[in-house]
Structures are given as C-alpha cells and as structure tokens.
Structure 1
Amino acid sequence: MSTAAPVDSPADPLLRGEATSTPVKPAVRNRRRTVLLFLAGGVLVGAAAWGGHWWTVGRFMETTDDAYLQADSVTVAPKVGGYIAEVLVRDNQTVVIGQALARLDSRQYQAALDEATATVASRQADVARSEADLAQQQANIAQAKAELDGARANVRYAASQVDRYAPLVKSGAETEERTAELRNAQTRAATTQQANEAALRAAQSQTLTLQAKLQQARAQLAVAEASARRAQLDMQDTLVRSTLAGRVADRAVRVGQFAQPGTRLLTIVPLQDLYLNANFKETQVGHMIPGQPVTIHVDALPDADLHGTVESLSPGTGSQFALLPAQNATGNFTKIVQRVPVRIHLDVSGEARRALVPGLSVTVEVDTRHAASTQAQAPAGGARG
C-alpha cells in the first residue's frame, strides 16, 4: 500500500502568512498603548477639570426642580347684586387698571339714587326753613328787647312824674285826683314792663327750641346725603372694573347671569409681575441670602437660560403653613427632609417674558458663593478684632 508523499509548504513565507505576523504585533501593541495612554490622560484631565470646577463653582450651586412660576392673581367679583347686562372683555384679553369688565343692570340702583337725591333736597328745604324760623325768632327777640326798653322808659317817666307832682299836691297846687292818675300810669307802665320781660324770656326760650330743630334738620340732611352717597356708590359699582393690569383668565361671567355680591366673575393675572417660588431642601438653604444670582431653566423654553435673584426666604418650612401641619410629638417618628420656599425675582424681558405664565415648571440653580465666602471670612475677622 502506497502512501501519499507529504506536500511541502510553500517556500515563500508570504504565502504562509508568517511574514507579517511577527513584525506587525509590536506596532499594534504600541498603537493601542498610545491610545490608552491618551484616553487615560484625557480622563485624568477631564476629572481634574471637573474637580476644579466643582471645588470652585459646583459645590456652591444649589439646584431644585420643585419650582413653579406664580403671580398674585385677583378674582374679580361685583360689590352689588344684579343681572349681568353686558360683558366687556374676552378670554385672555389684556386689560389695564380701571378698565370696565362687565356691567350689571342698573335700573333699580338708578331709582334708589333718584330717591336719595330727592330726599336730600327735602332735607335741605327743612334746614332752610329752620334757619328762616330761627332768623325770624331772632328778630322777634330784638323787637321784644326794644319793647322792654320802651316799657322801662315809661316806668321811669311815670315815677318821675309822681315824684314831681307829690310836693305840689301837699302844697295844694295840684289835686289828689292828679296824683292818682300819675300813680295809675306808673302802675300800668310797670305792668307793661313785666309783660315785655316775660315776652322776651319766652322768645329767648323759643330760640333754643328752634336751634334744636335746626340741628335735627341738619342731622337728617347728613343722613340723607350719606344715603345718597351710598346709592351713588352702588350705582357706580354696577360697572365692574379691573383693579390691576393683567390678562383675563377663567372667565365665567355670561350675559343674563344673576350675580350675587362676591360671586366670582373672572380672574385677572398680572403677567408683568410674575415671580418664582422654589422649594429647596433644608440642607440647601444654609448659605442662601437675598440678592444671590439664580439661573432658571423653564421646561417651556428648553433652549433658554433665564436669570433672576433671590428675593427672600420663607420664615418657615412649607409644612408649618399647611392646613393640617404634622405633629411629630405623637406616634412613631421618621425624619423627613423638609423644604423651605424661596422667592425669586425674575430678570426676564422680551420674547421670553411673553412665553412665561403662572404654573410652569422650572429648574432653579442658586449660586451661593457670595454667602459662603462671607461666612468663611467672619471668624477670621472676629479673631483679628
């Protein structure tokens, strides 16, 4: 049995694939080592840069996404009741201070105003009549005083006549009849004087009565004028006006609707006075102070970086002002990190301002470096002192 002779391998090493294997492997390893070293160096440089940035900036940045835009909206309601006669604004319309929003049926209020005006005129007539009566009484008093002065003069004259004729009667130059007549005249003059004095007292007492009536008439006039002013206010309040500038929202008023005093008609949102409430964890507010810069990212404007400043911090955590605050002194206790509301003023204008509305979700980043540096310098300053 014959066997096949072994076939010799090709003499050319390139045909065996051995010529490139031995010299290529070290080059590949060198390239890989270079790439790895380069990548490691890049990672170290990046880590160093990130660490430097965190040490100088990042550790002072406090961030939260528990933040929302807000505005002090005002609910518009009528002060008087009545049927809605006209609605003067549309949904989402921009209004200014004092602009008319709705008008109520004012006929009954106009009638009440007319009645109050007529009552004022009547009370004014009563005051004028009382003043005239008082002036007339003053004239009567002056007349009574004049008559009293005349009576007193008559009394003095009669007495002088009696005194003058008395010696003549004693000497027989005049008769007793003449003396009797003079004494009778003296008595009549004294009686007239007494009557005039009584009339003067009566006139003067009547003056007090008339003065009291005049004061009463003036008081009734004041009451009527107050009623007229109230009727005038009610008449003016039938036209519901805006108390601030903003945009109409949540409009629920319709023509023909009966509105009671205090019934919500619509809401005015002052978009120009938007602010931001960010609820930071209690572990984040230790270095926050008013005036620190804030970077704001609004979900509705993902490509825009907005800015603001810390305006104030709440005097308590949100749980302290809840309708039913937690009572941790009862039952089992589990510590929960509390949140402190921080109010932030927005420094935004232009197109970004027009896109912001209350309720939008926001991510807030507060730079606390200023407060941290101030607190770090405080002990050193105290030691130097």
Structure 2
Amino acid sequence: MSDTTAAPPPESHEAADPAKTARRKLILRRALLIAGAVLLIAGVVLGARHFIYGRYQQSTDDAFIQSDAITVAPKVSGYVDRVFVTDNQEVKAGQPLVQIDPRDYSAQAAQARAQIDVAMASAAGVGAQIEEQFAAVDQARAQLASARAEADLAAREVTRYRPLAASGAETRERLAQLETQAVQARAKLDAAQASLTAAERRVATLRAQRQQAQAQGEAARAQLSAARTDVEATILRAPVDGRVGNKGVRQGQFVQASTRLMSLVPANSLYVVANFKETQLGLIRPGQPVTVEVDALDGVELHGVVESIAPGTGAQFSVLPPQNATGNFTKIVQRVPVRITVNAGPETRALLVPGMSVEATVDTRSAKAAIDAIRDEQERRNERAGR
C-alpha cells in the first residue's frame, strides 16, 4: 500500500508561525527605512557639496600642454661643418648645437685687421708730416720777420732821402732807386706773409688727412668687430636649457641666414592652454587654483594656477575670423583660451611634452561673489540712468 499523504502547503507554515512573519516584515521595513535614510543623507550631502563646492568647479577636456619653443636659426650663411646634437637630446644653456664653416668670416676678420694696420700707418705718416710742417711754419715766420725788417728799413730810407732829394742834396736817381727797393721789400714781405699762411694751412690740411686716416681706422675696427661677431655666430649655442626637437640640419648642408635648423623646447616653460566655453568664464580669474589631469599619466593629478585669460576667443585670432553679419546665423558657444601654470617637479616635467591632452578643472570659489557684485553695480547704473 503506497503512502499518498501530501505535504502541507507553505501558507500553512506561515499561518502556523505568525510571529516569525511579523518579524520578517519588521526587518524589511527597517531595511527600507535605513536605505531611504542613507539615500536621503547622501542626496543632502551631494546637494550641499554641489552647492558649496561643485558648482564652482569649471572643467574642460579641450586643453593641451604647450611650450614657447625656440627656433634655432643661424645669423650667417655657409656650409655646416659639424652638428653636435641629435634628435630629442637634452641640452644646457650655452652648449654648442651646430658649427658653420668659419673660414670665410675669419678671412674677413683678417682683412679688417690689415685695413686697421694700413690706417694706423697712414695716420702715423701724416703725423710725421705735421711735425715737419711745424718746422716749415717756423721758417716761414722767420722769413716773414726778415722781410718785414727789410721793408721797414727801405721805407725809412725813402722817408729820409725824400727831403734831401727835394733840396738838391741828393739826386733824384738815388731817391728813385730807394723807392724801388722799398717796393721790392714790400712785395717780398707780402710773399713771406703768403708763405706763412700757406704753411699754416698746410698744417690744417695734414690734420684733416690724419683725421681721415683715423676715421678709416675706426671703420676698419667696426668691420673687424662685425667680422668677429660673424665668426662667433658660426657656432650656434643653446639659449636656454631644453630638449632638441624637429632637427632638420645635416653636416655638409648649405644653410642660409635665418633658416630654421631645429627647435628647442625649454625645460621649464611648459604650461597648459585650456579652452573654456564662454559660459564658464564668468567666475574664472587669474590666480585661482587648477587641477590638471594628464591623459599620459593615468591617476596622477597635477596642480597649477590660472596665469591669464586671452583677450579674445580663439575664432577672433584665426587667420579668417568669422563674419556673422551676412547670411544665416547659427549661434555656437565660443571658447576662450586660458593659460595655466603647472607646478611639477623635474621628473614629471621630463614626461610632459607639448601637445599632450589634459583635463583642467578650475576652482572658482574665490570669485563666487563677483557675479552678484556685477549685478548690483549694473542695477545701480540702471537706476541712475532712469532718474
């Protein structure tokens, strides 16, 4: 005979134990209350955090690391003699980068030195002539004094013999002879005076020639200085500490002056340019703290400071700024570049290169009262305008 007795249904057990069922409902109710309270507290905390902190955090992922790269270009033209650096090499300020063949510029310097020697020799020769001319001037003065004495003597003789000839004590032929001698003495005096004047003017001429030779020497010295500058310019040195990039120069290559040979990225000039929407700029001010997350450094937060805000949107500084006065217009939120200084150590900076993508978050709480102040000021202006 088979056992056909069926098991009692679950409802019968629950009905048999109402206290256990009530206890379960109480636990469930308490769990729901606790969960609701936790959710409510979390909502209040998150809401308060957003009200106090979160709404003042302005973030953008349209941000990149930048650096004021230096273009290395020669001041002189010539064939590249040596290249001292390789691609991506770190260099120190003053370290040689490239050397251009200096022989042509050294020859120019030697030519300038020779011109200086010629000018100095010419000036010395003219100086000797001036000394000789001083002696000629003294001789001309002595001759002038002698001629003046003879002219005075001849004039006195004529004066003495004129009354004698008038009285008949002396012949008129003697008087005429004395008068002729006086005229000759006077002419000789004039000639001596002219010789002295010429000798003195010759000194002035020689002095001008010496000044000309000295000026030629100064010009040659200027040429020598320029030639030495060109010789020094044949060695291109690193202006700052940095890293070599985009090197396009090779040994034996002919390069023109002002032609880019390579770029030098300074080691300590990295910064971030973050393009914030115009709707985010209301509270952004220079000096506010910034949190920077670099895509290449996962989980690493860098800190920085807002350095400056561009005086126009990126579109305004483009090659062809937009002109919205004609045609259909669709409003697009513009972006304004904000420059951010990054505080990072040498090891971190060694990993950062221009062009890397970052995400920047600016804490604008320091300017939270600015909008209210602007609004109050505008209201006062409106009130004064309406009076």
TM bucket (normalised to shorter chain) is 0.7 to 0.9
Alignment of 1:64-213 (within 5 A): 64-164=60-160, 182-213=178-209
Alignment of 1:141-290 (within 5 A): 141-164=137-160, 182-290=178-286
Matching residue of 2:383: none
Q: Cα distance 1:236–1:5, how it changes in 2: closer, same or farther (>3 A)?
A: closer
Worse-matched range after superposition: 76-85 or 202-211: 202-211
Distance in 1, matches of 2:330 and 2:305, equals 34
Q: Give the CA deviation at 1:213.
A: 3.4
Q: Give the CA deviation at 1:17.
A: 5.2
Question: CA-atom RMSD, angstroms?
Answer: 2.9
Distance in 2, matches of 1:59 and 1:363, equals 17
Alignment of 1:328-339 (within 5 A): 328-339=324-335
Distance in 2, matches of 1:38 and 1:316, equals 53
Distance in 2, matches of 1:161 and 1:304, equals 121
Matching residue of 2:301: 305
Q: Give the CA deviation at 1:186.
A: 2.8
Matching residue of 2:41: 45
2:343 pairs with 341, 347, 363, which one? 347
Q: Give the CA deviation at 1:173.
A: 7.3
Amino acid at match of 1:356: L
Task: Output the TM-score relative to the length of structure 2.
Answer: 0.86
Q: Give the CA deviation at 1:72.
A: 0.5
Matching residue of 1:322: 318
CA contact (8 A) 1:101 1:241 kept: yes
Matching residue of 2:14: 21
Task: Output the TM-score relative to the length of structure 1.
Answer: 0.87
SS of 1:337's partner is coil
Q: Give the CA deviation at 1:189.
A: 2.0
Distance in 2, matches of 1:300 and 1:292, equals 24
Q: Give the CA deviation at 1:140.
A: 2.7
> What is the aligned-residue identity percentage?
44
Worse-matched range after superposition: 250-259 or 56-65: 250-259
Q: Give the CA deviation at 1:208.
A: 4.9
Worse-matched range after superposition: 179-188 or 353-362: 179-188
Distance in 2, matches of 1:228 and 1:8, equals 126
Distance in 1, matches of 2:49 and 2:337, equals 28
Distance in 2, matches of 1:17 and 1:347, equals 69
Unaligned runs of 5+ in 2: 381-387
Q: Give the CA deviation at 1:302.
A: 2.2
Distance in 1, matches of 2:199 and 2:184, equals 22
Matching residue of 1:357: 353
Unaligned runs of 5+ in 1: none
Count of residues in correspondence between the two structures: 376
Distance in 1, matches of 2:206 and 2:327, equals 79
Worse-matched range after superposition: 161-170 or 194-203: 161-170
Distance in 2, matches of 1:5 and 1:189, equals 185
Q: Give the CA deviation at 1:7.
A: 4.7
